[in-house]
Amino acid sequence: MKNNPKSILIIDDEPDIVRLLEKWLNVAGRKTTAAFGGEDGIKRAREEAPDLILLDIMLPDIGGVDVARILQNDPATASIPIVFMTACLGVEQDKGDETIDVDGKIYRAFAKPLHNPKLLSEIRKAINRQENQNPPLGK
């Protein structure tokens, strides 16, 4: 099992959103890294194996749904929880109960900007679910 703080990969092409999320998540005790496009995000997810990925739906090179599809079909990244974030698609601000279906796997989606307690709660739940499904050796 990884040591705290839990690592979160932020995949978004908007530097202001990335900085806001990094600051907010670092204050909440999370370690963050960023990728500014889908290809870079896939590469970093494979290299760093973060505890969770915050993934923008609208990216300039590869859309977020396609990034999620690639990651969920790669054995090295398939177990990493993903939470989508978007500035579109009718996701209501601060509601946090929207979902996106990617080939039968359901992901939560949050509206930008993302500084709301429901997102932090979803991050905690997703990390806990992932840890419970993949307990460390010896347990």
Model-level pTM?
A: 0.79
Task: Tell me the per-residue pLDDT of 30-57, one tens digit each, with 9 for 90 and over.
Answer: 899 999 999 999 999 999 999 999 999 9
* Rounded Cα distance, 101 and 104, in Å: 6
Question: What pLDDT score does 113 carry?
Answer: 61
Residue ranges covered by each domain of the chain: 7-133
7-133 CATH fold: Rossmann fold (3.40.50)
Answer whether 18's CB lies under 8 Å from 44's CB: no
Q: Is residue 1's pLDDT more than 60? A: no
Task: Read off the DSSP letter of residue 2.
Answer: P
pLDDT at residue 29 tops 90: no
Neighbour-count burial for 77-93, b at 16+ CB within 10 Å, e otherwise:
beebbbbbbbeeeebee
Instruction: Considering only residues 30 and 134, tell me which one the structure prediction assigns the higher pLDDT.
Output: 30
